Amino acid sequence: MDKNGPPPTYSSAQSGWTQPQQPPPGWTPAQNYQPAQTYQPSGPAPAVIITAQPTHVHYNAPVGPVSSRVICPSCRADVHTKLQHEPTTQTHLMALCLFCFLCWPCVCLPYCMDSCQNANHYCPNCNAFIGTYQS
Ligand SMILES: [Zn+2]
């Protein structure tokens, strides 16, 4: 009354095994191959845990024309940036235009207007450059 028929699951497991090598007689392939199948690597082992910098901290951070609150990439302090305005090519061009139109007293205006210059943001703690706001 006991069923001793061959289980059909073995043949399906063997079909996935693409080695053309014939197993020697007396070797039970399905039984011996089963532990090897449990050793299926579940993807690359996550041995290296990447402790990258937080993504919101990077150089040339998105900063505005006014002092912004950022985390300094250098000293990791939560700071309000120190602003330094720097004349850009646009500033010089504007001054040149004013000079050409004989508005000489106005030539210095672009250099006095913060909106005509780049705003460089620096960390007040360690003086690290954080970002530039280009007007
Ligand atoms: Zn800093």
pLDDT at 18: 61
Distance from the CA of 78 to the center of ligand 1, in angstroms? 8
Distance from the CA of 132 to the center of ligand 1, in angstroms? 15
Place of tokens 């210095």: 108
The residue type of 67 is S
Terminal-residue alpha carbon distance, the chain:
90
With vertex at residue 67, the alpha carbon angle to CA 54 and CA 88, rounded to the nearest 5 degrees, is 100
Distance from the CA of 115 to the center of ligand 1, in angstroms? 25
With vertex at residue 77, the alpha carbon angle to CA 119 and CA 114, rounded to the nearest 5 degrees, is 10
Distance from the CA of 62 to the center of ligand 1, in angstroms? 16
| 61-114 tens-digit pLDDT | 678 888 889 999 899 999 999 999 989 898 999 899 888 987 778 888 888 888
pLDDT at 1 over 80: no
Distance from the CA of 111 to the center of ligand 1, in angstroms? 28
Residues 6 or more apart in contact with residue 113 via CB below 8 angstroms: none
Domain segments of the chain as ranges: 69-133
How many Cβ atoms sit within 10 Å of the Cβ of residue 47?
Answer: 5
pTM (2 d.p.): 0.50
